Structure 1
Amino acid sequence: MTDDDGKVVKTSDGTPKTCECVTENKSKQWLTGLVADITIFTYGMQTGWMSPSIQVLQGPNSPSGYPLSDYEISWIAGTVTIVAVFFCLGFSVVCDRYGRRMSLVLVAVTQAIGWIIKLISANPVCLIVSQVFVGIASAGVYTCAPLYIKEISSDSIRGSMASAGIVLQSVGTLIMFGIAPHLEYHTVLWLVTWIPVVNVLLLLKIPETPPYLVKRGKIDEARTTIASLVGLEPDSKSVNASVECLTKAQEYFDTLPKISLKRAFADKATRRAFYIGLFVVSLLDFGGNFVISIYASVIIKNSGVTVRPELQALSLPAIMIIGSLVSTVTVEKYGRKPLLISSLIINGLPMAILGILLILPTYGFEIAQWIPVLCVIITVFAYGAGVLPIPYIILMEIFNFEVRAMVFGFYVTYGWFLCFLQTIIFTPISQALGMHVIFFLFSAVNIISAICCAIWLPETKGKSLEKIQDELCAR
């Protein structure tokens, strides 16, 4: 942001106030953002492919030529998480070096390769290799897509656009759960392989983000892009003001030494933003929802409840969609902080009840079969409504352009590691101490996180980056 003399207006700690897209016509921003979000939709389909495919791959008519063993299935299923941990930081480098749009193109290409290899062969080695590409793409999805959405969207719709990606992820999973059990194995793959292929073509048509174009010295292209996104002429005052704002900020950053973690942490606002980011990613990925999404059938079975497998498979992503739609509609009205706090409480209480329900049968008590199912439904809803989307929205909003890609790569790596950690500790702790202990732990994490959010987390709804950083410096 510049003052009347054309000088860079700075925050209280000396860093420049950065610029957002001017807010006029938002339809082009939504359409452009949805093209980027197709990568998240494909991610939802690829993560949803494994569950309904296990029965096919282990059946007598397995496309692999023989029924796969549990050991082979475990490798096929586990490869994605392991690979994703090692590629997140690489995608943050790609985002900064080659642009946000081209990094999304790379994600979509990798997603297409993952499907194509599955289509060519169902040999377990080929399936593992295909899952390696899915893992690489999964590392990039939540590193690249949120960055792109942040940098092409106006403050007033930023949260809703980010939540829309979560809706599409759940829709992708639901579609896969719906079609995979009822269509032939290769028919499913033929249908879904075209989605990332078409996505690549669409991504090549959308613009690069204005901040990245300015960073590369493409000022005229940045002006044209901003004008297109907000529905104004390139020579309008509002567009010129935004371009000048971005240019002045970039000139300031160009005078500084090359960005590094040490220099980033020297900035008070960035340092506090990093701690907040670490906190929200921790509560997102260690709150128990990832375990519930994987072990829902085991949890319900251990509670003495019998649910039709196909009904259970379709119900969880459907509930996630409802929760995500609630987030999309309410996040700009009520704010990030109230939505996250309420969803953490709603998430934590049913987990405590689940823990109690898992203990009661050992003392001879009978429980109504609908109660554990309701608890799982509530936690999945809370996950979609706030626990999953809000941390990513906050991460989008609290970092400046210079460090955004770098820290996103770190956080996504950290998040995948926590997901992997949950999956490997769940079974041993459940067997040693009882499954109820795990759910009491997850409940405590959610409730304590809600209290910490109420005390410590800043509200970012509708605020520009400069205002958010000023508030962080004042804390």
Structure 2
Amino acid sequence: MTNVMDINNASERILFDTSDANKQTAINNANELTNINNNIVNNQMDISNISEHMSTGRHADKITHKMESNIAEEKKWKRNGLVYQILVSLSVNVVIMGPTMSFGYSAVAEPVMTAPKTDDLQLDAVQANWMATATAICIPFGSLISSLVLSRGRKNGLFVTSLVSLTGWVTICTSNSYEQILIGRIISGISVGLSIISTTLYVAEIAETKWRDTMLAWISISSNFSILIVYIFGYIFKDNWRLVAMMCALFSVVAIVLILLVIPETPLWLRDQNRPEEALKMMKKFRGIPKDQPAPAKVLFELKPQLQKKNQNLLRHLIKRSSIVPFVIMVSFFFFQQFSGLYVVIYNAVEIMDKSGIRVDPYIGAILTGVARLIASLLTAGVSRKYGRRIPSMVSGIGMTISMSGLSLYLFLIENGTVISDNGIIPVACIMLYVFISTLGFLVIPFVMVCEIYPSKVKDILSGLTVAIAYVFSAITIKIYPDMLKLMNMHGLFLFFAIISFVGVIFIVLFLPETKGKSLREIEDMFSKKKVFELPMEGVVGEKTSNTTL
């Protein structure tokens, strides 16, 4: 057994104590040593089996007990590693909560800021609209600069994200002018863009393959939970938008503390920085392996450096059909997502509740939409895993069309003098249905697909560009919302959302591919060889689920 330990330790040294030029050779040698190790173990087991027949039953019981102990010990290692991954992942989810509270802040702060008063700042309708738009329009900038921040370290990226978020909230809380509020909202928007990329990348690099989808799904859940919390703050502190901003800032403070005390650097980043000993030590911790135990071959394989082709022509890969076609499809999908009113409702929940004929406190109504969105986000992972991407998207679009059409008709009849004795139940049901069913498909699925639909060589560039364009669409819809409301009235605005949702369903039926159950290579080949109108026929519900995220 000592020889086995020595060979394991030798394989680690060969893998990490070599120069970059001989790294691949070292990896091959390490793999050969691992094979020798396995042969020795097998031979030892064979000898043990022979000895078992030659020895007494007491010796056989000792051998069986030892094997059972080893199995139990390995299970304990896996359990400890999973617990540590969960602890760190949940801490990272706190990091995204502070920035994403910006989505719901304008909904609860705008009614207070625009109300007539003499003891605090007062904004007009145009200024209030820009307060909401400023955050949305700056999210793409945060996404684009995230790569520069994360190149300094994943942990540093999380720290900078929380620090920027804290700066934004403090700026808003201490504002003495409209311009200062606008600066605070711009800073908050940048922090949102940073948080989306930094948290997703961190969790993807530390999680085991089996649990990666689940842990990444927590990020979406945390984002929706943070919006709900802001709505609750808005209800509790109705007349104090400064105190709401201060409460949001506390989440960024807690995130900074967790980053400094709990969240470590990722093993893969340490590996890429030529710090192999630290990378191996950290990977052992995330996999629950004691420090004095040699790393199994599986762990060494996770840390195996990826070979990069020299003189790679990036532009040539960007103009391939396998890149252009999915890019057009995803940008179109995000267009229908944004112009169907999803983020307009998030940013203006209180006002929309107030103008939709709902006979409850509009802040309570906003909280109800937050609860519906949170519940739907909890269900989204299971729905997508079982039914794929196309079916939930189609059902979501159809539900959005029905709910918005129903609400539009209701408001139209009310505005034209029709008496409807429903005690406000119909508009509540329509809004809740819209929020719930939109989260199951249109809100989440595009972000799921953007992580898997692009070829690996251009995934980082096209994914970031697509998300940036999506938030540009979001900024446009939020900015033109007041003008559309004046032009169409509330019933016309909801009818517009219904029409866009219905056209989105037609787009999904004709062009959106099913990526569930397909490897990344199969997806790339599908776009390279098939025509666009043939893509939807590729996926069949019930196939094996691919490793995608929410």
Structure-2-length-normalised TM-score: 0.70
CA gap 1:292/1:180 in 2 versus in 1, 3 angstroms: closer
Give matches, 1:435-454, under 5 Å.
435-454=490-509
Task: Indicate conservation of the 8 Å contact 1:111/1:196, yes or no.
Answer: yes
SS across alignment from 1:140: helix
Aligned to 1:412: 467
1:94 alignment counterpart: 149
Residue matched to 2:225:
171
Could you tell me whether the CA contact under 8 Å between 1:146 and 1:396 is conserved in 2?
Answer: no
Contact 1:162 1:389 in 2 (8 A): no
**CA apart distance, 1:110:** 0.3
Matched to 2:144, the amino acid is: L
Match for 1:319 among 352, 372, 381? Answer: 372
- The answer to whether the 8 A contact 1:93-1:405 is kept is no
Separation in structure 1 between the aligned mates of residue 355 and residue 477 of structure 2, nearest angstrom? 19
> Is 1:235 aligned to residue 295 of structure 2?
yes
Tell me the distance in 2 between the aligned counterparts of 1:402 and 1:152. 22
Distance 1:59 1:365 in 2: 31
> SS at 1:312's partner residue?
helix
Q: In structure 2, what is the equivalent of residue 195 of structure 1?
A: 251
Partner of 1:145: 199
Distance in 1 between residues matched to 2:167 and 2:155, nearest whole Å:
19
128, 131, 152: which one pairs with 2:182?
Answer: 128
Question: What is the aligned partner in structure 2 of residue 308 from structure 1?
Answer: 361
Deviation of 1:275 after TM superposition, in Å, equals 3.3
Aligned letter for 2:480?
A: I
Deviation at 1:321, TM superposition (A): 0.9
Find the aligned partners of 1:157 and 1:463 in 2 and give their Cα distance.
Answer: 18
Q: Which moved more, 1:110-119 or 1:279-288?
A: 279-288
Distance 1:355 1:119, change over 3 A: closer
Kept after mapping to 1: 8 A contact 2:107/2:346: no
Q: CA offsets, 1:160-194, max 9 Å, x none?
A: 33332222222222222223443466554544423
Instruction: Letter of the 1:274 partner, please give it.
Output: F
Per the alignment, in what secondary structure is the counterpart of residue 236 of structure 2?
coil
Kindly tell me: are residues 93 and 378 of structure 1, through their superposed partners in 2, closer, same or farther at Cα, counting changes over 3 Å?
A: same
How many residue pairs end up in the alignment?
Answer: 448
- Residue 385 of structure 1 aligns with which residue? 440
Letter in 1 for 2:263: I
Query: Corresponding residue for 2:72?
Result: none
Per the alignment, residue 356 of structure 1 pairs with: 409
SS at match of 1:365: coil
Aligned to 1:106: 160
Distance 1:212 1:106 in 2: 17
**1:191-229: CA deviation from partner (whole Å, max 9, x where unpaired):** 442321231343355344555445444445444444443
Structure 1 counterpart SS, 2:451: helix
**C-alpha contact 1:213 1:222 (8 A) present in aligned 2:** yes
Partners in 2 of 1:388 and 1:317 — Cα distance?
14
User: Alpha carbons of 1:279 and 1:73: their partners in 2 closer, same or farther (altered >3 Å)?
Assistant: closer
Indicate conservation of the 8 Å contact 1:89/1:406, yes or no.
no
- 1:73-123 per-position Cα deviation (integer Å, ceiling 9, x unaligned): 44433321233344432224434x334443332211100111222344444
Residues 316-343 of structure 1 deviation map (CA, whole Å, 9 limit, x = unaligned) = 1111111111114443344344333322
Q: Which has the higher contact order (CA 8 A, sep 6+)?
A: 1
Q: Please report the TM-score for the alignment, with normalisation by the length of structure 1.
A: 0.80
Report whether the alignment pairs 1:428 with 2:488.
no
Q: What's the offset of the Cα at 1:382? A: 1.7
The answer to whether the Cα contact below 8 Å between 1:320 and 1:381 also exists between their aligned partners in 2 is: yes
Answer with 317-326 or 392-401: which moved more.
Answer: 392-401
Residue aligned with 2:312, SS: coil
2:110 corresponds to 1:50? no
